[in-house]
Amino acid sequence: MSSQPQAIEPAQVKRSGRFYFQDLFIRAEDTLFKVHRQDFESGSEVFRHMFELPSAYPKDEGSSAEFPLVLEGIRAAELEDFLAVLYSRSSNSASAPMSLERWKAVFKLATMWDFEGVRTQALSAFKEHMRGANSMDTILLYQELHLNIDEDFVLAAQSIIEREEEVSCNEAEKLELGTIMRLWKEEIIAEDYKKHGKGYEGTGVFVDIDDNEELDAVDDVGYGAGNVGDGFDDEGPAILSAPTTGGPGGPAASPSNESDM
């Protein structure tokens, strides 16, 4: 959003042919929208708090076509998709079908502006997409949008862990450190379930397997080569185990060996 009202010439912008009602003027790129201020106040704490702030300017942002609320860095097409979902919710009608990429843009705007209802609808659209997506694409979607771990992520992680083919170099390069750690933990949970019939419990810590007194992403977490959770450096795989005391960073329990019991 802009830091102050920006006066513009009417000839420089075009009206939205789809969203031009009342009474809040919003501009994205060269397109002017006119929407219901009440919908933004009631649906978003971000906008509600912004409207409550006293204005330091003679004209309030959004009060007229000459002084619209300017959304810097937001594409007009993205705002139009967001408004389509917002108004479909208020009218209890189905929104028009959109591609995954368009839903991603809607989700990001809803998250940034704290429109919980629109965000929830975008999440539902993602769930529909996941039903036909492969497991790695599902994992990468969770990674890109920073989605909370749920059953769909766990199922996708288990599918990757149990599949016969190794994770390709191209796939590995797309995975971020946090995602690799999540996948690693799911593998530990799966192995523990096979052995004991229950899930892994406790706080996981990575053991310093390359003995350099620090946990580094390349040598200890094992980024970028081979099967996820499968021997990423020359000295063997990093070990995820439950610490005995002190929580994360405290002394870690040695991996148990059932054959010694």
CA separation (Å) from 257 to 187, 211, 245? 17, 22, 20
pLDDT at 227 over 90: no
Mean pLDDT to the nearest integer, 118-136? 93
pLDDT at 238: 39
The bridge status of strand 14-20 relative to strand 31-35 is parallel
For 182, residues 6+ apart whose C-beta sits below 8 A from its C-beta are 149, 153, 157
* CATH 3.30.710.10 correct for 10-130: yes
What pLDDT was estimated at residue 204?
37
Q: Which residues contact 154 (CB under 8 A, 6 or more apart)?
A: 186
User: Cis peptide leading into 23, omega within 30 of 0?
Assistant: yes
Q: What is the mean pLDDT of residues 206-235?
A: 38
Q: In sequence order, which ranges of 68-224 are alpha helices (DSSP H)?
A: 76-90, 100-113, 116-130, 135-145, 151-162, 169-174, 177-196
Q: Which residue has the higher pLDDT, 211 or 81?
A: 81
Average pLDDT, the chain: 75
Q: How far apart are CA 191 and CA 187, in angstroms?
A: 6
Q: Each residue of 90-126: pLDDT tens digit?
A: 776 777 789 999 999 999 999 999 999 999 999 999 9
Ordered by start, the domain boundaries in the chain are 10-130, 135-260
Q: What is the pLDDT of residue 162?
A: 87
